[in-house]
Amino acid sequence: MSSYTQKKLAAATLVAKADDYIDTTTGGITPPIITSTTYARDNRYRPIDDAHVYGRDDNPTFVQAERVLAELEQGEEALLFSSGMAAIAAVFYTLNSGAHVVLPKSMYWGVFTWTRTYCDRADIAISYYDTPDAESISQAMVNAARTDFVWIETPSNPMMHVTDIARAAQIAHAAGAALVVDNTTPTPVFTQPLLLGADLVVHSATKTLNGHSDVLAGAVVTKEVNERWEKIAAERRGAGAVPGAFEAWLLLRGMRTLCVRAERAASNAMQVAQFLDEHERVESVLYPGLSSHPGHAIAKRQMHDGFGSLLSFQVMGGAKAALDVASKLNIIVSATSLGGVETLIEHRYSVEPPETCVPENLLRLAIGIEDIHDLIDDLNQAL
């Protein structure tokens, strides 16, 4: 490792250099893909390299990506998982029967639906708080003898509610609970929850961290290595919920351009939001970068250098009008997911569970890195 890496590197430098990786055998500057699922032992049956025993426990390929992500989030350690939901499940699997958690009313429906099913089966109580109001977390804990953790997703998907992370951390810690933040949407480029008081950060690394819509992966990052973290690591090890070597390598490769992709997409998103905000056929635009957004002040305080690439808007005329707009787009593709280099649109009401609170006329835009004029022209003609 070269001498200048002893000082703190900026995020853009850190990811571009993959944590200043240089292969000690060949001098290669690109980390290799280590495909071995097992590792040799010496004649006393001791691992030749104590760090590597079996592929379900670790692999140098995803250890490299974990180190980069931990530094990006300013955490002590990170663990990769086979998907974002696998990472989230590992956090919940550490809870004992009779535990209590506090979740937001507005969140990604996959997490909302899975947690209700799992917690009901595992005898874990859930209370919900009003997503944009961190103060309502206290009320959600009133009837619980003890709360194990509070969950935040900010900005929430797809309603783009903003939650005050620092205030939520104060409330959670005062009650003896940990704070877990889903940082998938903003990424550490724009928000670093651990620096605001969070204890754990989770990611669907499938999204912006990878950025090319070709990898399923998840991650958990911890502020400190403690008993809770050891339980999460044990859950991953026991379940074997690790990514494949190739997927981990693709994720690391994607993260090397994370900053430039995220900044370009956020810039595009801001301009698209401003365009839609002035369009006569648009009822409302949900994007925290707009000064008219109810959570703009909080977002401005806890996000830096941009407000992310995700936004939603409501079309005048109801569900049919919204679906018509989506069907008339040429460049923007109707598809699930976010964080890729391409711009995607989705009618969330069509894919949410029946009890969804998402309006029928809402369209979610996951903005990519295309030319901004092409994106606006496409939206304009469709509207």
The one-letter amino acid code at 273 reads A
The residue annotated as part of the active site, out of 148, 182, 199, 378, is 182
The residue annotated as part of the active site, out of 39, 148, 199, 207, is 207
Q: How far is residue 379 from each of residues 153, 163, 252, 375, measured CA to CA in Å?
A: 28, 29, 33, 6
Spatial separation of the C-alpha atoms in residues 354 and 319, rounded to whole Å = 15
Spatial separation of the C-alpha atoms in residues 125 and 129, rounded to whole Å = 14
Among this protein's residues, is 105 annotated catalytic?
Answer: no
The residue annotated as part of the active site, out of 39, 108, 129, 287, is 108
Q: How far is residue 154 from each of residues 58, 164, 165, 383, measured CA to CA in Å?
A: 31, 8, 8, 28
Q: Which two tokens mark 226?
A: 């403690």
Which residues are CB-contacts of 136 (< 8 A; sequence separation ≥ 6)?
A: 129, 130
Among this protein's residues, is 182 annotated catalytic?
Answer: yes
Spatial separation of the C-alpha atoms in residues 115 and 131, rounded to whole Å = 16
Contact 366, 340 (CB under 8 A): yes
Listed residue (104, 84, 109, 102) closest to 358, CA to CA: 109
CA angle 246-264-362, nearest 5°? 90
Among this protein's residues, is 148 annotated catalytic?
Answer: no
Q: Which two tokens mark 115?
A: 């947690």
The residue annotated as part of the active site, out of 17, 20, 54, 56, is 56
Contact 127, 156 (CB under 8 A): no
- Cis (ω within 30 of 0) for the bond into 155? yes
Residue whose structure tokens are 């956020």:
266
The one-letter amino acid code at 25 reads T
The helix or strand, by DSSP H or E, that contains position 149, with its residue range, turns out to be: strand 149-153
Among this protein's residues, is 377 annotated catalytic?
Answer: no
The one-letter amino acid code at 229 reads W
Active site residues: 56, 108, 182, 207
